[in-house]
Structure 1
């Protein structure tokens, strides 16, 4: 950089001698980064971001994303009529635009038996033996209705509330609404398993919200986060960050909108602080061996091992104060929609169940033992269900895309356990009682976090936006 003359220096000082300039100049360069610690409150005041409106039962959310669409009629929604009528044509009356269907398709019964589990008698299939063992903790919603039987659109709907994307993800909204409990960690973390789902990174993005609210991705294999280990001594890092802050500050004084620059500064500081804590939280080697075995970390199946690792990390992250953690499924056959079984239903649904359900059951039990389940909401959901019919019944047949009625479950977080809500018809083909949309699920999650979904808004493009758009209601029947 060229040397400034005296008059240049004076003009610069005059242009920045506001609160930002005062903080920067009074703190010897690197102290300017402390301003990022004040940034959350400043942005909240500027955007009139709502605070929790009551004492919320939930502090954290763990979202177990079952990408591809687990079959509702093979997991939590038993339909004996399917076995009775297996191989018979479904007929015109069963055809729906919200599923891959035509009148010549035939009903397909479940290859797994259902049993009533626990004291509640909740129906769970033999596909999920570990989840069946904790049935009394599960709140199963059986009446979800989607919009389009396409992975990308339904993934975006599940994550952002819109099939076209271009909106913040649920985790980003939670981060925006509540911030983080731990300034050394981001509020929103995605524990990824080395691939990007249909719909792309918009599923985890912040869109028009400040960039500080997008997901930080932590991978299963290798280094959890790139460049998390410092390449420079601490003193040199501080000097580099001070220079970046100074340059960003100078740019912000000339920009028409300073918030993106402020977000960049806040991200610099978060990344600096993460250097110590992220490796510590991601390292599960010091967890007791019996806990690691309970999650399945000791599995010889690499996919189950890595999923178990990520699930155990999820518990450690919420303990450390991360607001919203999402866990994606690993792909064992290069399918970036792992539960998408158009063929080989029995073989590949069993593989997916083997990889994931032990770890999720262990997570719920572990949270409960530690007294964290009441304040942590665990959500298990795919973007859609699967058709109760198939083109032809064979030993290798499967089920296709279905959004006319499907299931998810939640656990903890102030919800009733051992219950179901909503109902599909005798074939599991369409909803006949309490139809719900993903907006209703979003509204309920936000409510449990202490936020009225109608008040969590952000002004963009000339109108107010919210996660639930103009839809959604709290499902009060499932609240304890």
Structure 2
């Protein structure tokens, strides 16, 4: 019995020695890697799951100008003179019979024509609402898709579908998929950043699941920056703590996380190690990013920025350009101002005034800096609006809406059409999954080949659908 006890004790001591030795070696290895990282090495940076491009790379980053709330395609990019002639009259039952509507289900339907005019612009002849004179000025950069369709008729699920290709919670957003697939080109800033702003009306809430990493590691989730005040809370060192002391604290935390990482197989531990280091670097990189004193007066005026960092969409657009220059992979700007069930005339005018100048300025600014060619800009909402009136506004609509794209290998012009009343996309229909497949293709990714095993299935951004829309690729 005594012999057995001694043998067991010996085994435990030997196991403990080996384990502690492993931790020691692991700690030294981690320290070595961290030391390289502190010295400026990119050895620890995630370089993406797609090591070899599946297709020619036309875009390297995405700026998504998300018009949250669902802007009316009938007052932006889809001119319907027949609908205007029908204004105030009964909407033809042949269009809506048996169709899903939102709040208009069962109501008496009357046509509502556009309250604004449209004009053709540039060599492309893109028809753009007079509410967007600055966007009209970059008409020859725009690829306007008039034939979008989605599956979701309510805001939160429609946003989820536009962002993740699914309404099921826990699915990664497209920004997280991009970061997972391609990695990040910067070690100083997060690879996926989100900014928000709001208009005077039509403000639809936005949930954080829209930039969630879902079942991917949390290091791929979007990071919400404050649009006003400090971009990130608690960015500075605590009072009385110098940077060298904080560096020592970070190193010790990293060492302990490294010991835990060798004991457990958990990708979140590696995420924590990376994020502690990122947080330390952001203490210097974020203030530099958000300090716009170096921006010339003419650039601020071009964007319509009255006060940098004032929380406006214009200020966010300028910040997005600065992020693009510094290697951020995915930048999303949500402007909550487009949910116009009523008061659409004043609401659309106000929302368009909020975003028109800055959206166009971003495209022009990227182009003059040589960044537009490999930056894909997407402008649009989660769905469209009914050609039938809802009081003084329009209801949600899923069978037709418009988005505009620029740069990143897209072909300027207009793609797809809706019927004469703007009710349904009828030619070159583009479902949301097709939009995602095309965006990934422009970034050099085959949407069918970038998959992650989850709950026994090979999951992807486009689910079991999606086709590349070759007609919009330059």
Do Structure 1 and Structure 2 share a fold, with TM-score over 0.5? Answer: yes
Distance 1:100 1:424, change over 3 A: farther
Q: Does 1:434 align with 2:428?
A: yes
- Alpha-carbon deviation of 1:230? 2.3
| 1:221 corresponds to which of 197, 205, 228 | 228
Separation (CA, whole Å) in 2 of partners of 1:363 and 1:171: 20
The superposition leaves residues 347-368 of structure 1 with CA deviations (integer Å, 9 ceiling, x where unpaired) of 0111111111100000101111
Q: Is residue 78–residue 123 contact of structure 1 (8 Å, CA) maintained in 2? A: yes
Q: Please say which structure displays the higher CA radius of gyration.
A: 2
Q: Does 1:200 align with 2:204?
A: no
Separation (CA, whole Å) in 2 of partners of 1:24 and 1:104: 68
Separation (CA, whole Å) in 1 of partners of 2:405 and 2:87: 31
Distance 1:420 1:31, change over 3 A: closer
| 1:245 corresponds to which of 254, 259, 268 | 254
- Alpha-carbon deviation of 1:87? 1.3
Distance 1:25 1:405, change over 3 A: closer
Q: Is residue 36–residue 269 contact of structure 1 (8 Å, CA) maintained in 2? A: no
| 1:115 corresponds to which of 119, 122, 142 | 119
Aligned to 1:424: 418
- SS of the aligned residue for 1:140 comes to strand
Separation (CA, whole Å) in 1 of partners of 2:427 and 2:169: 29
Separation (CA, whole Å) in 2 of partners of 1:113 and 1:10: 79
Q: Is residue 65–residue 332 contact of structure 2 (8 Å, CA) maintained in 1? A: yes
Aligned to 2:296: 288
Aligned to 2:471: 477
Report the more deviating stretch, 6-15 or 230-239.
6-15
- SS of the aligned residue for 2:294 comes to coil
| 1:159 corresponds to which of 163, 183, 193 | 163
- Alpha-carbon deviation of 1:439? 1.0
Aligned to 1:349: 348
- SS of the aligned residue for 1:106 comes to coil
Q: Is residue 104–residue 391 contact of structure 1 (8 Å, CA) maintained in 2? A: no
Q: Does 1:23 align with 2:26?
A: no
Separation (CA, whole Å) in 2 of partners of 1:26 and 1:223: 33
Q: Does 1:267 align with 2:266?
A: no
- SS of the aligned residue for 2:194 comes to strand
- Alpha-carbon deviation of 1:192? 2.4
Report the more deviating stretch, 461-470 or 310-319.
461-470
Separation (CA, whole Å) in 2 of partners of 1:370 and 1:36: 27
Aligned to 2:316: 310
Separation (CA, whole Å) in 2 of partners of 1:177 and 1:361: 29
- Alpha-carbon deviation of 1:97? 0.7
- SS of the aligned residue for 2:263 comes to coil
Distance 1:437 1:98, change over 3 A: farther
- SS of the aligned residue for 1:66 comes to strand
The superposition leaves residues 364-415 of structure 1 with CA deviations (integer Å, 9 ceiling, x where unpaired) of 01111111111111100100100111145xxxx0001001111101001111
Aligned to 1:332: none
Aligned to 1:321: 327
Separation (CA, whole Å) in 1 of partners of 2:223 and 2:278: 11
Aligned to 1:458: 452
Q: Is residue 181–residue 187 contact of structure 1 (8 Å, CA) maintained in 2? A: yes
Distance 1:35 1:457, change over 3 A: farther
- Alpha-carbon deviation of 1:440? 0.9
Q: Does 1:191 align with 2:190?
A: no
- Alpha-carbon deviation of 1:9? 8.1
Separation (CA, whole Å) in 1 of partners of 2:244 and 2:35: 10
Separation (CA, whole Å) in 2 of partners of 1:56 and 1:26: 34
Aligned to 1:97: 100
The superposition leaves residues 210-247 of structure 1 with CA deviations (integer Å, 9 ceiling, x where unpaired) of 11111122111111111222223222112211221222
- SS of the aligned residue for 1:253 comes to helix
Separation (CA, whole Å) in 2 of partners of 1:8 and 1:226: 44
- SS of the aligned residue for 1:444 comes to helix
Separation (CA, whole Å) in 1 of partners of 2:197 and 2:368: 27
Aligned to 1:168: 172
- Alpha-carbon deviation of 1:8? 10
- Alpha-carbon deviation of 1:207? 1.1
Separation (CA, whole Å) in 2 of partners of 1:307 and 1:208: 31
The superposition leaves residues 131-172 of structure 1 with CA deviations (integer Å, 9 ceiling, x where unpaired) of 011111110001111112100110000111112332111111
Q: Is residue 156–residue 199 contact of structure 1 (8 Å, CA) maintained in 2? A: no
Unaligned runs of 5+ in 1: 1-5, 330-336
TM-score, length basis structure 1: 0.88
Separation (CA, whole Å) in 2 of partners of 1:153 and 1:50: 33
- Alpha-carbon deviation of 1:16? 2.5
Q: Is residue 112–residue 125 contact of structure 1 (8 Å, CA) maintained in 2? A: yes
Paired residue total: 454
